[in-house]
Structures are given as C-alpha cells and as structure tokens.
Copies of this chain bind each other. A is one copy, B any other.
Amino acid sequence: MQALILAGGSGTRFWPLSRRLRPKQLLALEGERSLLQQTVDRLPPIIAPDAVWVCTTEALADDIRQQLPEVPANQILAEPEGRNTAPAIGWSIRSMPETNRDETVVVLPADHRFADAASFRDTLQLAAAAVEQGDRVMALGVLPRWAETGYGYLELGEQLDSQTGLRNVASFTEKPDAATAQEYYQGQTHLWNAGIFLFRGSTLLRHLARFESEIGRGLELIAQQPERTAEIYPTLPSISIDYAVMERLESIATLPLDCGWSDLGSWEALAEILIANNDGNRTQGDTLAIEATDNLLYSDEGTVAVLGVEGLVVVRTGDAVLVMPKNRSQEVRRIVTELRDRQRTDLL
C-alpha cells in the first residue's frame, strides 16, 4: 500500500505564521512536529515511510525533504507549477514504478489533524481491504460534529457491508447553506468530505484518462519524455480530483472516519483543539495573561502579554503581530490581500 500526500498548498489562513514559503503543512502548530511530519508519523505500521510519496511545488520541495529524511528523496515530487489535484494525483501516480501503481494508494492532505491515529489507521485498513476486494474507489468522510457550511459533503447511499459500515456515496455536494447543513447534520445522511481517497493507482489513471483525456495524454507524454515535464505539465487542465473523477464515477464507496479529525482551517479551529489553561486561555509559546480569558495567545518568537481582553486571537512572529476577534479568524486572508496590494512581499 502506498500513501500519496498532497503538500503543495500555500494557505494564508495562519498568517502571520504561515507564509508563501512556510505554508501551514510545514508548521508545527501544536507541539514539535509539523502537520506534514505528523501526517507521515501516523501511517506506520500500515504504511512505512519508504511507501510514502509527497507531491508539492518546487519552492517547497527542499524544505519538505529536510522535514522528511525518512522518505526517499526521489519520492518527494515537485510540480513545475501548481495545477490543482487531478493533475497532481495523476502525475504522482504515473511517476511511481509499475508495481507500486498497481497497489492501493491512499491520497491524504498534508495539513489535517487526527486526534486518534490508531482509529484512523483502523479505518484506513478497512478501506484498503474494500479497494483490494472490489477494485473500488473510496472517498473517506468524517462524521459531522456540527452543521458546518464551509465543507463539501458526501451523501450516504446504499449499505454495502453491514459489518464494516461500507456504503455507496450517492452524491458529492458542494458547501451547503446553513439550513441544508443543518439537515445533513441532524439527518445523519451525509459525511464531511475529508479529501482522503483510496484506489488502485492504475485504476485511478484509467478513470482520469477516460474523463479527462487531455490530462491522460499529457501524463503519458511526460512518462515517455520526462525531460519535457516542465514544458508539458503547466499545460494540463487545472481541475480538482473531485470534479475530474470522483463526481463522475458510476460507483464510489465510503467509510466514516471518527477519530478527532480537524482540517485546522483557521486560528479559531486551532484554538478549539488546544487545551485551555486554568484562566481559560489557550496558549503556545511565551505568553502572559492578566484578567483575560478565552483568548488564543500564540507566540512563535518573543513574549505575548495581554490584560483585560476576551475572545481574541493574538499571534506574534519575529516580524509581525496579528490581533483579531477569534470568531473573525476566517477573515485573515483580507490582511494577506491588503499586504499583497501594498507589495509587502517581506510579509507574504
């Protein structure tokens, strides 16, 4: 079994900690290991580091090789240019030796969190067995814990196996409105789409060539003339694996993950998973709070001191500080946009 970790993202949601060249997956948001390192760490014994592949961008590849010395350097693949997940997954699988391509491949985001790694591996093994038995394509989903409007959902279809809970996916749905999300959540009819897929590599390539022939042809051309990768890859259609393959497949199966998943999509999401101090603040690094509660105080360098404030995010890095209400964490990108407008590349 092979793992393919997608680590090309360049999110802005953790500014000022995350930057173009230090995106979220390379950050140790809690503890000492980065989210990418933790993604690799939680795979053994079912997947050893020498069966891990990482797809990233050229700008990040060196740092990723440094973070993951246990992963063979030639399995850290650097896209010449980011072209969304369908080309990235297709190209990564096509880059594997044929024996690996014929194995089950699990595609994993590099920047998610699973509180219960053992339970995660158990579900992964059940899913892998389902792939091996029926040459199935699997999309794992997360049992919703609230009526989230920020995620895509998997609609649960007919049950395929009562023992494992294996079910068909009836449909992929986009981010719902609040009322719809509430229906999904209360009806227990849907799972959060976690972006975790399993399939036999060669099967995925066949589907991709069938649905997106331009990508299929491009990948074969690159395989025959790898020296032309930098020329051909950027011409591949930029399309997600969901659109390109998953939503078009006649049949796709799912299993629910119930293992403390978080996509750590914002400072607020990080606050939710950190343990509160006695004073009700969640802190990382050197911090001091007086008559202050319910704040996320995060210091990457230097001291964060607060007095008399509530419900704030305060983040300090070596060159910047960010202060905002926790419940407006989603709006960090507005600051990044403003910095871009001001051409403050030093802070991006």
- Residues of A at the B interface (CB closer than 8 Å) are 16, 288, 290, 302-309, 312, 314, 316, 318-325, 328, 331-332, 334-335, 338-339, 342, 344, 347
Distance A338 CA – B304 CA, assembled complex (angstroms): 13
Q: Which residues of B contact A306 (CB under 8 A)?
A: 322-324
Q: Which residues of B contact A331 (CB under 8 A)?
A: 290, 307-308
Q: Which residues of B contact A338 (CB under 8 A)?
A: 288, 290
Return A227 CB to nearest CB of chain B, in Å.
Answer: 43
Distance A76 CA – B339 CA, assembled complex (angstroms): 46
Return A116 CB to nearest CB of chain B, in Å.
Answer: 34
Question: Which residue of chain B has its CB nearest to the CB of A287?
Answer: B321
Distance A316 CA – B16 CA, assembled complex (angstroms): 14
A312 contacts B314, CB within 8 Å?
A: no
Counted per complex, copies of this chain come to 2
Most chain B beta carbons < 10 A, residue from A307, A314, A324: A307
Most chain B beta carbons < 10 A, residue from A303, A323, A331: A323
A323 contacts B335, CB within 8 Å?
A: no
Given A288-B339, A339-B288: A307 and B332 interface contact (C-beta under 8 Å): yes
Return A266 CB to nearest CB of chain B, in Å.
Answer: 12
Q: Which residues of B contact A16 (CB under 8 A)?
A: 303, 305
Question: What 7 new A-B contacts, CB under 8 Å, besides A305-B335, A307-B334, A316-B316?
Answer: A288-B338, A288-B342, A303-B320, A304-B323, A306-B322, A307-B323, A314-B323
Distance A197 CA – B302 CA, assembled complex (angstroms): 42
- 8 shortest A-B CB distances, which residue pairs? A307-B324, A303-B320, A308-B328, A306-B323, A302-B319, A321-B321, A316-B321, A305-B322
B335 contacts A307, CB within 8 Å?
A: yes
Distance A322 CA – B347 CA, assembled complex (angstroms): 21
Cross-interface CB contact of A318 among B302, B305, B324, B335, cutoff 8 Å: B302
Q: Which residues of B contact A305 (CB under 8 A)?
A: 16, 320-323, 335
Q: Which residues of B contact A307 (CB under 8 A)?
A: 322-325, 328, 331-332, 334-335
Distance A177 CA – B186 CA, assembled complex (angstroms): 59
Distance A305 CA – B305 CA, assembled complex (angstroms): 16
Question: Which residue of chain B has its CB nearest to the CB of A317?
Answer: B302
Return A310 CB to nearest CB of chain B, in Å.
Answer: 10
Q: Which residues of B contact A320 (CB under 8 A)?
A: 302-305
Q: Which residues of B contact A335 (CB under 8 A)?
A: 288, 290, 305, 307
Distance A303 CA – B335 CA, assembled complex (angstroms): 12
20 A-B residue pairs with Cβ-Cβ distance under 8 Å, sorted by A, are A288-B335, A290-B331, A290-B334, A290-B335, A302-B318, A302-B319, A302-B321, A303-B321, A303-B347, A305-B321, A305-B322, A306-B322, A306-B323, A307-B325, A307-B332, A307-B334, A308-B331, A309-B324, A314-B321, A314-B323
Q: Which residues of B contact A302 (CB under 8 A)?
A: 318-321
Distance A118 CA – B292 CA, assembled complex (angstroms): 45
